[in-house]
Structure 1
Amino acid sequence: MARRSTHHASWLHLHLAVRLSFLLLASHQLPRCSLALSANSSRSSSRGTSRVPALCCSQEAAALLQLKGSFSFPTNNCEFHTKLSSWRSGTDCCRWEGIRCGGITGRVTALDLSSSCPQACGGLHPALFNLTSLRYLNLESIDLCGSQLPESGLERLTNLRVLMLESCNLSGSIPPSFTGLHSLREIHLSHNTLNGNISNLFSAHSFPHLRVLDLSSNLFEGTFPLGITQLKNLRFLDLSSTNLSGGIPNSIGNLSLLSELYLDDNKFSGGLPWELSNLTYLAVLDCTNSSLSGQLPSLTSLIRLERISVSSNNLMGTVPATIFTLPALVELHLQVNNFSGPIEEFHNASGTLFQVDLSSNQLTGTIPTSFLELTALDSIDLGYNHFTGTLNLSSYSRLRSLTRFTASGNSLVSIVGDDRWTSGSSNSSISELAFASCGLTRLPSVIRHLPFLSWLDLSYNGIGGKIPDWIWRNMSTWLDLSHNMFTEVAQPPAYTVISYIDLSFNRLRGAVPSPSFLSASYLDYSNNEFSSMLPSDFLTLYGTAPSINLANNQLGGTIPYAECDQFHYEEKGGEALRDLDLSGNNFSGQVPPYVLRGCNNALRVLNLRGNRLEGTWPQEMDGTCRLEAVDLHGNQIRGRLPRWLANCKELNGLDVGGNNFVDSFPSWLGNLPHLRVLILRSNQFYGPVKTVRKNHSRSAYFSSLQIIDLAENGFTGVLPPGLFYSLKTMAQASTVHKVREVTMIGEQGDTDIHQEPRTPVEVAMKHQYMRMLEDQQLDLVLIDLSNNRFSGSIPRMVGNLTALHVLNLSHNAFTGEIPAELGHLSQVESLDLSWNHLTGEIPQSMASLTALEWLNLSYNDLSGSIPSGTQFSTFPSSSFQGGNRGLYGCPLPVRCNLTRPPSATKAPPPLHVPSGESADHRFQVIVLCLFVGSGFGLGFALAIVLQVVCSRRGTRKWLCRAN
């Protein structure tokens, strides 16, 4: 119930009153624990002395010691163990920590062992049920190790008023004997894994006094328990995250004393019942994300309502203007629904409404001027609707409490202010403004006069001209002007403190703006036309901003040399650089070691793709490697891969393609548990591909790989079958990690990522607050070993990689027959075995590859009939022509109806392959955005360019086109 704390003012008084009643009840005389206890009390009374509290009942002390013995404690460093350390035999149990006894009875009336001790483990020991005078039982956050509520025993606790078993790791269903606890006032069973159907568990007969029922965050099934609506004394009901379905019953209106109702995160159908208007004591209504539909019922009678949250549903209709007049309302959350139409003007505005969120609906018309009457308003979010018109921002200065105004994703004509309004005259408290994707063409000058503004988002508009100098001075937290048409930017002040700066996707030219002192956690100047940057400015940025993105500009020259100790991170109390993207520029010369290796072991993401950088990768590294993604593709870096990469346990992607590395296959990377992308293409790697050593786990060798590209190197030898045995991710489609395709909101021009890219690669490297569309997800699984000198037969184990989409073994020296097991590759869409020495017939099993979009078996020595099948009949003759003199049958152009081998004197014309054409020109580039998990820290994405064999007719756009 901690998450409800802001709405519990009325409930808190009730809760304290119930607790106080336990102390009063504890003083009531109960049957004596023993004859000796009774005699002791009589003697005390006859002497005229005051009553002395009785010692603990020995039978109950023994039961408590049994309960203590049922728990295990691997460590003593927790509160739970400290409590139980006072439980010692031969001492008065009424003085033990967590125990309260009845005044002169010696009976245990309260047991409170609530604690957080993840190492402890125990269960509900039967001895607990011998404490029959127990009124209060609290075992919250004690690990009961998945045990179930016992079928019998609980019903003996007939005096129990409060039962608190929250976060106890309970499982199983609630037993029928539970309904025997007729005295219960409070039931707390939230945050367990209880299951089963609870539709018939609760009734007024079983729980006539119940005031609090919290069953949230469990795994129940079935519909809303109708019996709950009979509990006339109920004040608090939490059924959130309980997997309930069906409709919310109309009879919920019978709970006339209910003050808090939580039904969020369920699978209800239908709408909110109109009988909710009967709950006149209701202060909190939360039905967030519960699959509700229909219209919002009238709530005007709920004069005590403080919080309404029905966000993330399918509610429709208009937003009733009367909802803004509820006299006690503090929070209103209607976002992510299908509300439509205009919001009518209203009178008698609420004087308590603090937070309003109407975002992501279909609301239209102008923004109501009645909002200006919500005098207590602190935050309003109108984003991603269809509001139109002009917004006079200076009018909102009347709302002295307003700090946050968001209206992104609307069609506002302009944002204006009073001409007489200046920084000195403004009384506005607004500190956050967001008008992204509003179709603005001019920078609203009115925002200059907001004295407390520190957070500004005007991204995805069409604003041009110059970014003024006052922007730098006014902002201190967040500045996002990305995806506009700015052409100039004023130089920032020497001392600039802005946590987040994003000027990406504009038309900014000239020198990169860089103050002499910058305090920023994220800086993105990518996708502009910056052409110069002083070495000192680069070092300033490198030494101050933990995340830097300068990708896709026109920067050139060498990267300045420095040593890590020059940046003085410790003296500044700052953080070393974690993420660096310099891709798509014209940098040349030697790459300094601090760039390739990072400083203070902080580097996580490094992208230098598409430059002309030279040098070698430092072979030594001190400390822990935290790298998660590295892209050096398309440079002139030489030498060996550093062996310390084997210690980068969080490495997800490594792309060193298109360089001059000379090395053997990096089998020592095979034990990296998260490595999903390995691209070595177009280098000078050589020798055989070796598998795991005998003293390493064979099953863990490259087990997470879903993309491996070794094309255009000098690898030789036979492919080891063990390599394909260990590619577990490729063998199971269900385990393929979704790599998300990034499409930026409002990006200028066609945003289809599958089109021919404007640059060698488009890299989106964004902070965790970046909005990303993840509607389309790619689960590409690829092996490209083409243009090497592999020999021997194709391993049959390849057929086990059933999640494979692309397999390219072309331009090698493979011999033998095509394995029939390739017919098991049910998801393969592109298969290229051309330009080898394969013999024999094409396996009939390949005719069952219904997902296959492109096939090339040309330039081999195949013979026999081409398999017949729906998919094979769609391939052109060029898929089989060239060599293959003994091959016959459709779709070859010669004697398509033959049932015997054709004459060897008439070979089909060879498929023309232009000489001297580079592989990069023969393939269309596929841009994928590899998401590097939660360990990617601030939400960075590294684009991995995969060059895949092409398809002329592919329905999947990522399959590219053959020339």
Structure 2
Amino acid sequence: MMPIPRPTRGKSRGKVQIAARGVECYNNTGHVIGLDLGSSYLYGSINSSSSLFRLVHLQRLSLAENFFHYYKIPSAIRNLSKLTSLDLRFSSFSGEIPSEIFELSHLEYIDLSRNSLKLQKQGFYILAEKLTKLSELYLSDVKISSRVPAVLANLSSLAALILKNCSLHSELPTGILQLPNLKHLSLELNPDLAGYIPNIHGSYPLMELSLANTNFSGQLPESIGKLKSLQLLDINHCRFEGSIPTSIANVSQLTYLSLSTNNFSPRPLSWLGKQTKLNFLDLIKTNLYGNIPPSARNLTKISELYLGCNQLDGQIANWIGDLTHQTLLKLQENKLVGPIPQSISRLENLILLDLQSNFLNGMRGCSLRMINFAQNQLQGKIPRSLAYCTMLEALNLGKNQIYDTFPFWLGVLPNLKVLVLRSNRLHGAIRKPQSSSEFSKLQIIDISDNNLGGELLLGYFNIWNAMKVANAGNLSCMNATTGFQKFSWSDYYRYSIELTNKGVELEYESVQDSFTAIDPSNNKFNGEIHEDIRNLKAVNMLNLSNNNLTDHISSSLANLTHLESMDLSRNKLSGEIPQQLVQLTFLSFFDVSHNRFKGPIPSGRQFSTFDTNSFLGNLGLCGSPLPKKCGIPDESSGQDPLNSEEDKGIGSLFAFDWKVVLVGFAAGLIIGMPLGCNFINRKHGRFLMVLGNKQLRRREKKRRHKFCF
């Protein structure tokens, strides 16, 4: 071990002398009784021959937050027979926890969490039977893979029991929840661990109870209101049922409450408002109905408020503007009506606002990082006040009734990365940009399913700078940064995208920071695909389908070397498909069907994985995978490919012969990675960005997998 040198200085503290930083000695004998080397940059091996294990008078030992190269905990730990406190958390130990630890009968505090450790068979039972003085036990991420032994309920002095993500199973002995001194209990992320919350008799000191992502079920007892000291209650993603007890209104010390995604029966929110210390409230998918009660305005300390995926109705009250903390507010997928209140514009610290899928009919300007008003009843024009939202990074107004021209004035927003305006009534031509700085950070644009026309995005391919240079090494998810702390969208707001990708509408739960996509499909754009598109070398997905594009496609498309999905179907494109496109080695989906192409289909590399559906409706094309051989006349060559009988039948149009080809699958992994930034149980979120082909969605609707977190 190689610790960083620390200065030594003596300091008397009763009968204990601080001989050096992190070292405590008994004054009378000079014996070392405390050693705190936590976060000391220790690295290397540690074994039973270490001089550490000669400190036989040691009572407190911390080696936490160091790096021991996944060595085992040495068996010589048995020499430290006087230990009362052992802290080895997050220090890269591995292997089985040595049975010698169970011989340290004076232990009151053990923390072995955040290592690659596991307990031997019957190890949990032996630990609970022998270490009878335990008051705090932390074993998070230790692989226990057993039931929780009933003997653990005999440890009457136990105040903290943290068993997060331990592969526990069977049913938790109810006696553990009734331990008289228990203040902190966390069993979360043990999906095979069952149990229920018993009736509470008398007074319990419980301050934190987390059962999230377990198999706990039954009803929450009305007596839960007796837990006067409870500050954290997290039971999200369990199987609780019955009504949310109104007595929860009496738990006035709560700062964190998550009841989301259970099987609760319908109930209004009348119990909310007395918990004035609440900082975090998650009631997503809890079968709530009725209005948001006026008493909710008492939650003046709230910073995260999630009420989405319920049946709440009525208007959003003006008191919403009284929230003063940095706030994430999600009211999506309810039945809220009326205008978005003016008071929202006063929320200077509002970071995220999600009102998607309600019946709202107005909106205001704001100082948000993200806005999601998708799937409402917004009408009229997009308010110019949004141009003052200089911190805005993502704007989703999709699936509304907005009647407006393309909001070119949003180009002044210096941080805008995502713009979703799909499925509205946008119309007219998109004028050329007036400045090279417009939309300079834009990475994802979806203006599909509108009535836009004119030349295709004329001039914009030159100025979308964020799409020009690929950042393949960036595996992080998109995030917003506040003045005080960093809020990651992947942690605090599950950022999902619906993509008609590779001909199928898929849904991804988060977006890699380097992902780029362009979707102006299902409009009336005409003219050619301009040569300037060659600048957008970082684009991953391009969907230009269902427009009136003409002329040939340039070989310059081969410059889009990160392209993984390209859909040019249902246009009036002609000429040959450039052979240079075989250079797009990441391309796993390609569709040029129902155009006027002719000549040989490029061969080799990815093109060997595309089937006939990619080329249908181009009677002049020949070569594999089509049955028509090049150089042999086609008897049906006089037929107009855009008015053929084949074009009239929807069943024929969308009869995909979907298959997985080895090479295509390998490339497809690439597009999965930019979109599928994984995250661990941060239970909120839908930020729907929809990029896709409406007709294909109708055909492939049964392939969709929608979730509400």
Q: Could you tell me the TM-score, scaled by structure 1's length?
A: 0.53
Cα separation, partners in 2 of 1:515 and 1:789, compared to 1, 3 Å: closer
Q: Provide the residue aligned with 2:673 in structure 1.
A: 934
**Contact 1:190–1:217 (Cα < 8 Å) also in 2:** yes
Q: Provide the residue aligned with 1:653 in structure 2.
A: 588
1:4-61 CA deviation, whole Å, 9 max, x = no partner? xxxxxxxxxxxxxxxx999877659xxxxxxxxxxxxxxxxxxxxxxxx8xxxxxxxx
Shift of 1:249: 2.3
1:638 has 2:554 as partner: no
* Distance in 2 (alpha carbons) for counterparts of 1:612 and 1:533: 10
* Distance in 1 (alpha carbons) for counterparts of 2:144 and 2:277: 37
Shift of 1:256: 3.0
Report SS of the residue matched to 2:118: strand
The amino acid across from 2:374 in the alignment is S
Q: Provide the residue aligned with 2:403 in structure 1.
A: 487
> In the alignment, which of 160, 179, 187 is matched to residue 102 of structure 2?
179
> In the alignment, which of 448, 457, 472 is matched to residue 526 of structure 1?
448
* Distance in 2 (alpha carbons) for counterparts of 1:162 and 1:125: 19
The amino acid across from 1:391 in the alignment is Q
> In the alignment, which of 428, 433, 456 is matched to residue 510 of structure 1?
428
1:827-877 CA deviation, whole Å, 9 max, x = no partner? xxxxxxxxxxxxxxxxxxxxxxxxxxxxxxxxxxxxxxxxxxxxxxxxxxx
The amino acid across from 1:607 in the alignment is N
1:265-292 CA deviation, whole Å, 9 max, x = no partner? 1122232233497432x32221111122
1:334-374 CA deviation, whole Å, 9 max, x = no partner? 11112223236359823312222211121223322321233
1:646-684 CA deviation, whole Å, 9 max, x = no partner? 5xxxx26142655557576324x69xxxxx964587779
Shift of 1:514: 8.0
1:364 has 2:279 as partner: no
Higher relative contact order (CA 8 A, sep 6+): 2
Shift of 1:115: 6.1
Q: Provide the residue aligned with 1:42 in structure 2.
A: none
Q: Provide the residue aligned with 1:787 in structure 2.
A: 627
Cα separation, partners in 2 of 1:428 and 1:98, compared to 1, 3 Å: closer
Report SS of the residue matched to 1:383: coil
Cα separation, partners in 2 of 1:101 and 1:604, compared to 1, 3 Å: farther
> In the alignment, which of 426, 437, 460 is matched to residue 357 of structure 2?
437
1:605 has 2:537 as partner: no
- Name which of structure 1's ranges 497-506 and 136-145 shifts more when overlaid on structure 2: 136-145
Matches within 5 A, 1:35-184: 105=30, 110=35, 112=37, 114=39, 122=45, 124-127=47-50, 129-141=53-65, 147-149=71-73, 152-184=75-107
* Distance in 2 (alpha carbons) for counterparts of 1:439 and 1:946: 25
Matches within 5 A, 1:3-14: none
Report SS of the residue matched to 1:232: coil
**Contact 1:655–1:680 (Cα < 8 Å) also in 2:** no
1:457 has 2:196 as partner: no
- Name which of structure 1's ranges 935-944 and 345-354 shifts more when overlaid on structure 2: 935-944
Report SS of the residue matched to 1:370: helix
How many pairs does the alignment contain?
596
Cα separation, partners in 2 of 1:313 and 1:235, compared to 1, 3 Å: same
Report SS of the residue matched to 2:257: strand
Cα separation, partners in 2 of 1:145 and 1:920, compared to 1, 3 Å: farther
Q: Provide the residue aligned with 1:925 in structure 2.
A: 654
Cα separation, partners in 2 of 1:620 and 1:514, compared to 1, 3 Å: closer
Shift of 1:479: 3.1
Cα separation, partners in 2 of 1:614 and 1:393, compared to 1, 3 Å: same
* Distance in 2 (alpha carbons) for counterparts of 1:369 and 1:526: 40
Q: Provide the residue aligned with 1:87 in structure 2.
A: none
Shift of 1:157: 1.7
Cα separation, partners in 2 of 1:540 and 1:345, compared to 1, 3 Å: same
Q: Provide the residue aligned with 2:136 in structure 1.
A: 212
* Distance in 1 (alpha carbons) for counterparts of 2:154 and 2:323: 45
Report SS of the residue matched to 1:350: coil
1:213-240 CA deviation, whole Å, 9 max, x = no partner? 1111132222223333333333322101
* Distance in 1 (alpha carbons) for counterparts of 2:272 and 2:526: 67
Report SS of the residue matched to 2:240: strand
Cα separation, partners in 2 of 1:605 and 1:479, compared to 1, 3 Å: closer
* Distance in 2 (alpha carbons) for counterparts of 1:712 and 1:383: 50
1:725-746 CA deviation, whole Å, 9 max, x = no partner? xxxxxxxxxxxxxxxxxxxxxx
Shift of 1:508: 1.9
* Distance in 2 (alpha carbons) for counterparts of 1:317 and 1:22: 59
Cα separation, partners in 2 of 1:541 and 1:524, compared to 1, 3 Å: farther
**Contact 2:230–2:254 (Cα < 8 Å) also in 1:** yes
Q: Provide the residue aligned with 1:384 in structure 2.
A: 309
Cα separation, partners in 2 of 1:320 and 1:427, compared to 1, 3 Å: same
The amino acid across from 1:933 in the alignment is G
Unaligned runs of 5+ in 1: 1-19, 29-52, 54-94, 553-574, 671-675, 685-710, 716-784, 791-811, 813-912, 948-955, 959-963
Unaligned runs of 5+ in 2: 1-9, 470-496, 501-512, 661-667, 678-687, 697-701, 705-709
Shift of 1:313: 1.1
Report the structure number with the largest CA radius of gyration.
Answer: 1
The amino acid across from 2:254 in the alignment is L
Cα separation, partners in 2 of 1:101 and 1:603, compared to 1, 3 Å: farther
* Distance in 2 (alpha carbons) for counterparts of 1:345 and 1:957: 39
> In the alignment, which of 382, 391, 394 is matched to residue 467 of structure 1?
382
Q: Could you tell me the TM-score, scaled by structure 2's length?
A: 0.69
Shift of 1:503: 1.6
Cα separation, partners in 2 of 1:455 and 1:223, compared to 1, 3 Å: same
Q: Provide the residue aligned with 1:317 in structure 2.
A: 242
* Distance in 1 (alpha carbons) for counterparts of 2:200 and 2:441: 53
**Contact 1:146–1:171 (Cα < 8 Å) also in 2:** yes
1:380-402 CA deviation, whole Å, 9 max, x = no partner? 222111223x2252133455558
* Distance in 2 (alpha carbons) for counterparts of 1:403 and 1:286: 23
**Contact 2:555–2:581 (Cα < 8 Å) also in 1:** yes
* Distance in 2 (alpha carbons) for counterparts of 1:644 and 1:101: 70
* Distance in 1 (alpha carbons) for counterparts of 2:427 and 2:557: 38
Q: Provide the residue aligned with 1:237 in structure 2.
A: 161
1:501 has 2:390 as partner: no
1:485-519 CA deviation, whole Å, 9 max, x = no partner? 22335856476327343221112222348874446
The amino acid across from 2:588 in the alignment is G
The amino acid across from 1:363 in the alignment is L
1:246 has 2:170 as partner: yes
Shift of 1:595: 1.4
Report SS of the residue matched to 1:251: helix
The amino acid across from 1:617 in the alignment is S
> In the alignment, which of 175, 178, 201 is matched to residue 126 of structure 2?
201
Shift of 1:245: 1.9
Report SS of the residue matched to 1:371: helix
Shift of 1:311: 0.9
1:617 has 2:541 as partner: no
> In the alignment, which of 714, 722, 728 is matched to residue 623 of structure 2?
714
Report SS of the residue matched to 1:153: helix
Q: Provide the residue aligned with 1:261 in structure 2.
A: 185
Matches within 5 A, 1:538-577: 538-539=460-461, 542-543=464-465
* Distance in 1 (alpha carbons) for counterparts of 2:535 and 2:545: 16
* Distance in 2 (alpha carbons) for counterparts of 1:307 and 1:429: 24
Q: Provide the residue aligned with 2:279 in structure 1.
A: 354
**Contact 2:429–2:452 (Cα < 8 Å) also in 1:** yes
* Distance in 2 (alpha carbons) for counterparts of 1:129 and 1:518: 63
Q: Provide the residue aligned with 2:482 in structure 1.
A: none
* Distance in 2 (alpha carbons) for counterparts of 1:518 and 1:957: 33
